[in-house]
Structure formats: C-alpha cells, structure tokens
Structure 1
C-alpha cells in the first residue's frame, strides 16, 4: 500500500486508482483495510476537494479518476513543482502562520500530478529572526480579521503602540501583509481618522462589531505603499546620499523607490537620489550603513543622524 505522510486515506485511495487504473470498491477497501462504506466516504471527500471519481459497472468495472473534470488535469511541469517547493521551504524557515496548511496543499498537488519529481533539488530558505508568539492564537486572530473584512464589519481592538501603550480603536480592515516574518493589518482607524498599519501580534483583545463599514473605493494598495522603505508611512523626504563600496553594490541591487536615480562613480561609490516616505525607517536604514554613507540632502536628516550618533556614543 502506498504511504504518503500528512494526507489521509482519501488521498491514498486516489493514488491507488491513479497507479493501478480502474479498481473495484471491494479492492480498495481491502488495500486500505477499511469498509466499503468508508470508501464511499473517501470518494465524497475527494469530490469536495475537486477530485472527481467515476464508477463503471460490470465485471471489468470499478472506480477511476475523472480527468476531464478534476484538478488532476492542471498540467504542472517540473519547474512549477520546484517553485512551489521553494516557496514551501521559505514559509517553513520563516515560521509562517500558514506553513503547515501550505505544506499539506503541496503534498496533495504532488499526489495528483504524474510528474517524476527530482529528489536532488537544492534547498531554498530565508534567514531571519522568527516571531515569538502563540501561532494558534495568531492564526485565529487572522481568520477573524478576514471574516470582518469579508462581512465588512467593524473591529474593536485593544492595541499596543510602542509610543502610546494600550488603547481601544475602532477599525475597518482592508488587508493583511507580511513584513520581516510578522503579519500586519492595514485598516482605517476611526480614532486617528486615517489608514494605519497594525502589527497583528500587538492586538491584545478584539471584537467583531455588528456595525458595518463602507469601503473607501479611493484606497489603492499600490499608492498606499508606493516609495515607502518599510512599514512606516510618516514624512516624505527628498534624499541624496553618497554611498561607498561595498554598500554601493548592495544598494544598486534593489529598487528602493520607483523614482530612484543612481549615479555611479569611478571609485565604485554611488550617488543615490530618491523621494521616499517613512522618515523613521530611512534614518535606521542610513545608520545601518555606518561610515559607508554620507547624507548630502536634506539638512534636517543630516542633523538628525548626527544627533542619533551622539546619543549612541553616550551609551559607550
């Protein structure tokens, strides 16, 4: 009998039919060591998942997969499977909330494809700090946020802000995104009268209210996040930096803003120009480059960086 980890007898039944061709209900029950009634249940489970099983009567009859109407006819190639594997490994190493669910989905996709898979694929993962919270509670919180969004019901949340501590907010959910292994909710905040990025793990308590909210049709995801260096959406700044090698190479490898301009110099340094949002994170970004960066403009940013360095020096 074919053994596949993390999937049930329904998938095993499908694999048997796929590998051996048409099989009678009694033959399947014998192979899986279950009753014929249970085979009927597995058939129903598979159909709910989009894998349809047809039956033919007679001496040479039995169950077979309906390839015309099933998701088994999705025409995946080896490169597609490889990409799915890479994403799956990245989710595992990021300790993503939905890593187990995605792993199960990939297992099922592999089970219904006839592609011979290469066992020597190169490992793919990302290296970064993992989130430190109860994943079961966070997953439930996210599911409730999704429900509030689908039903367009307002959320009442008790949210912890690093600047102001805990406060109650009435918010209208608009979407979720992942940033540095943490999940954020973009929502319109009635208290602040603007859109805010809320870190989901900092929502202590929440209630789905019976009051509905009207979607602001002018909200645009691309415009909302455009030219923001991170999650901060505070002051916009027109930036000009002189960046030395080797950081000049690292900066050239990414698009930090749609309007960025990079001028290369003979000494392998660059001049970086851009108009960007997120003044708070821009400062952190520049400080992370240490002595390899010089702020040309604006003067306020140059002064703020100098003051921050002085504060750091006082700690040593």
Structure 2
C-alpha cells in the first residue's frame, strides 16, 4: 500500500493522542527516542500535511496542528489520523512525477518511453529528471496498487488509468456506491483502503459538479485511533501470511520506555536501540473489538509468539518457508487458541456466571447481549429472574473485562478464584465512593 514507511509519524501521532499535549517537547522526544530537532522537524511536516488537508476552508475555520486532534467530530466525516496515509503514501520527490504519469495516462494509453518524455518535459527544474528504470518502477507500483492497467497487445506495453468502475456508472449509481463504501469503511475492519476508495469516489463526484451535501449524508464519531494507525503494517503481514514468508521488525513492548528508534544508515551515528529485533513467521492477525487493538500471532524459536501491532516498526518481508512447515505451525496455533476468548493460549477453564434479567416489563437486553457476544458459550439454565451462562476458555484474563462490563447484572459462580478476584475488584471500586 504505502510506498514509504512512516513508523516515526505513526508513533508520534499515537503519543500525541494518548498524552493530549501533557508531555513537554523533551519528554516527547525522550519517549520516542529522537532528538528535539527531529521532533520539531516532524511537527513542521505534520503541520504542512494538515494545512494541505484544510486549504479549502475559510481562514477563520482553518485548524492549528494540535487542534486537529480535539476538533468537533461534526466538522468532518474523516477520522483525524487518516491523513497520514494520504500524505506519506509516496515520497515528496515522487509526488510530482506520479501526478504527471497519472495525468498523462488519463487521456490515453501510453508506453513507458512516451511517459518518460512527458515527465522529463513537465517536471520542475529544481527536481532531478527520472530515467527509464525509475518510470518502469513507478508503473509497476501503480499497477500493483490497482491505479493503472496494462493493456493487452504486443510490446511495447501500453498503460492506462484503471477507472472502469466510475466511468461505467451514472451519478446516482456513484452516490449509492459512495454511501455503501462510506458506511462499510466506518463500521468494518480493516478500513484504510475503504477510506481511500471513498476519497476517490468523492473526488470523482465533485468533479462532476455533484452537490457536496448529497455525498455526505452520514457523520461518524471515530473511536479507536490505533486501529487506523496499525493498519499500516496489516497488509504487509497479510501478504507475508499469504506467501508463507517470515518477517523482520523492531518491536517495542507496551511496557517499554520508548516506542520508536530511527533506522540509522551511518555507522558513526549508530546507537543501541531499546527495541527487540524479531525474525518470525506470521501465522494469524487478530483484531480486538473491545479495545480496538491488532495482534500478530506468529511462530519463532520460542514457539507461538504474540505481538501488539502498535509496537511493530521497520517491518520487512523475509525468506519464504516450506508450505508443510507453515501448515503444521498454523494447525498448532489453531489448536492452542481453540478456546481463546481472544488470543490467550493458557490452560482451559470452565467459567459459569449468572446473569440477572432487567425486569418483566423491560426488553431483556442482557440476554440479547450475552447471545450476541458470548461466542461459543451456552445458556445452561434459565428462570424468570436470571439465567446461567457457561463457557470453556483459555484462562480468565481476557473474559474478565467482558463479565465486569455487565456490572450488577452479572455474578461469577465458577471458578472460585475468578469469583474472589471479582469480589476484590468490586470492593475496591466501592471504596472509591465511600463517604469522606
């Protein structure tokens, strides 16, 4: 998807959102493992991106950088952090060249040499002129991401914009498609490619002079910032899983004091990193709906490994492994997480809980939620007042927050250890509300 990595900006934005401006510049730089100079340079770069996003607004409505993370959700239907994917998909030096290529291919199908001539004559004098190898590399990238299409025929091959979808539909059909993509991108995972498709459809509709209000009928309040940020690595990992390839990356655990380290190419400035260099075989990617987190499950020397994707940086594909090895380890993983509420691979334990109905005159939303979210658990007994739910899970750590979220409508019966833990937690909560 992205042609250039942007690990630093991802961690920068995550820190900014989580701390809400509570860190000083020095604390921020220390946490990211960068200098204050790099911090300031990254801030200026992100300010420029925000400015380019809101350049269509009147001056009195333009937003300062920090304010873009606190603005009214009803001012825009875009999730705030998506702009990073738009701005960093290609390097700044490549943007003008690729724009020229797309503009030329929008008119007619052209060969690589014809596109080279157009680029050389149309590029700014202060930018280096591309060669044939660069143009062919750009065409390969654009073809991989589905922007252009190679036409059938003899060499030299001709390339054209792949816009058959929008050109074959009427404005009303495009609006219906836009509405569908808008809803799905805001409610399903993964969503980044959906947002980019939505942006393309919106630009095409506005180009056809469609009323802007007609294509923005829905407003969403975006909840999980990390979900969008972590999707930067998602497609690399899915590709590695599809092709049975190992991956290499630098990992920072959630407990690490730092969350980023620059990739130094000059040995004079090389320094020890707080992150852990990992080489592993990805097997499965899991999304936690409750907390909006992505997890990577993989196989390494230590066996089955788990990584929070928010701590992954500098990810690269490595050599492929034998298909039989991949299938063996995948089956081993599936057996280990067979009874996982999410990704726990601990010892299976049976949990029994009593859920109390809200009342005879109210809709039984408690039971509806248990049936919807209770996975493979079963209701084993029921009366007018309550019902008993039973499930076998790997450990109780992951199911505990779900049980706790029902408040007084849920009473844990077994195992006794979990019951004691819940009693202790509710007593602690009760102590917060005692009279002082």
TM > 0.5 between the two? Answer: yes
**Alignment correspondent of 1:22:** none
Judging changes above 3 Å, is the alpha-carbon distance between structure 1 residues 119 and 142 closer, same or farther for their aligned structure 2 residues? same
Equivalent of residue 410 in structure 2, options 264, 278, 293: 293
Secondary structure at the aligned position of 2:284 is classed as strand
**Alignment correspondent of 1:160:** 253
Deviation at 1:72, TM superposition (A): 7.5
Deviation at 1:178, TM superposition (A): 3.1
> Is it true that 1:172 corresponds to 2:281 in the alignment?
yes
| Structure 2 spans left out of the alignment, 5+ residues | 1-85, 87-98, 109-117, 123-138, 154-163, 207-212, 258-273, 359-364
**Alignment correspondent of 2:378:** 260
| Structure 1 spans left out of the alignment, 5+ residues | 1-5, 15-33, 39-43, 55-69, 112-117
> Is it true that 1:84 corresponds to 2:195 in the alignment?
no
What are the within-5 Å matches in structure 2 for residues 97-176 of structure 1? Answer: 97-98=192-193, 100-104=195-199, 119=214, 123=218, 125=220, 128-131=223-226, 135=229, 141-142=233-234, 144-146=236-238, 148-149=240-241, 150=243, 152-162=245-255, 167-176=276-285
Secondary structure at the aligned position of 1:187 is classed as strand
Q: TM-score, normalised by structure 1?
A: 0.58
What are the within-5 Å matches in structure 2 for residues 8-27 of structure 1? Answer: none
Separation in 1, partners of 2:334, 2:178 = 30
Separation in 2, partners of 1:262, 1:75 = 53
Q: Between Structure 1 and Structure 2, how many residues are aligned?
A: 263
**Alignment correspondent of 2:52:** none
1:102-137 deviation digits (Å, cap 9, x = unpaired): 4246569989xxxxxx9489637575332299x4xx
Secondary structure at the aligned position of 1:307 is classed as helix
Higher helix share: 2
Higher normalized contact order (CA 8 Å, seq sep 6+, divided by chain length): 2
Secondary structure at the aligned position of 2:327 is classed as coil
Higher strand share: 1
Deviation at 1:208, TM superposition (A): 5.1
> Any conservation in 2 of the 1:228–1:257 contact (CA below 8 Å)?
no
> Any conservation in 2 of the 1:184–1:199 contact (CA below 8 Å)?
yes
1:33-83 deviation digits (Å, cap 9, x = unpaired): x9xxx9xxxxx98997459799xxxxxxxxxxxxxxx66899998987654
Equivalent of residue 236 in structure 1, options 325, 338, 348: 348
RMSD, matched Cα: 5.2
Separation in 2, partners of 1:120, 1:145 = 34
**Alignment correspondent of 1:281:** 398
**Alignment correspondent of 2:426:** 309
Deviation at 1:160, TM superposition (A): 0.7
Deviation at 1:302, TM superposition (A): 0.9
